[in-house]
A and B are shown apart, each in its own frame.
Chain A
Amino acid sequence: EAGVAQSPRYKIIEKRQSVAFWCNPISGHATLYWYQQILGQGPKLLIQFQNNGVVDDSQLPKDRFSAERLKGVDSTLKIQPAKLEDSAVYLCASSLYLTDTQYFGPGTRLTVL
């Protein structure tokens, strides 16, 4: 069974630029999550989708971050414009349903200069 795929694996941008991350969850998984993991900290949930609907985006900085999951499969997370404090690893995870085990992708390491 293929795992959660993410791309790119690494991204370096200047502050105020925009960036997008892509996630392909495990086939058949209805729930998709985006987490931000700052160095030395645990993952923090940014947004959670159930199929193509948003379940929770209470910790998503909506003035600069946006995410979508069209057709309830792949998802993209966008930051526009980026700030220095956005430097982190962005993890995508998926689960079969809301209460099931979450499976994480390898993450995208973002560096904002």
Chain B
Amino acid sequence: QQQVKQSPQSLIVQKGGISIINCAYENTAFDYFPWYQQFPGKGPALLIAIRPDVSEKKEGRFTISFNKSAKQFSLHIMDSQPGDSATYFCAARPLGGGSNYKLTFGKGTLLTVNP
């Protein structure tokens, strides 16, 4: 059962454009939603995260939008740069209880920003 569905699988954006990656989740116990960035040959690194008590969080050019009723959240990268080219993973984690705070990842989006 895929608990976190991520789309699109790949995305090509021109430099300066906006990159948008979407995720949907099924488990209403999820209470923490991070986005990870992974470059080839490296491990994932936390980019930005949100909790469901806010609808939006912005850090520099990166913004998470969260829709609790629709059980969806998205990553927006403004003014996309070639250096942003990487694979992006959304993830979700329950606040606690029997799942032991286990992170569930989406399948990833390969972002290519053309110069």
Contacts and interface: CB of A to CB of B under 8 A. Distances in A.
A49 to B, nearest CB: 11
Interface residues of A, number: 21
Chain B interface mostly helix, strand, loop or mixed? loop
A45 B102 contact: yes
Contacts, number: 50
B106 A42 contact: yes
B89 interface: yes
A55 interface: yes
29 contacts: A4-B43, A41-B107, A42-B4, A42-B6, A42-B89, A42-B106, A43-B89, A43-B105, A44-B105, A45-B102, A48-B100, A55-B100, A56-B100, A56-B102, A91-B44, A93-B43, A98-B100, A99-B32, A99-B96, A101-B46, A101-B49, A102-B46, A102-B103, A104-B43, A104-B44, A105-B43, A106-B41, A106-B42, A107-B42
Interface of B: 4, 6, 32, 34, 41-46, 49, 89, 91, 96, 99-103, 105-108
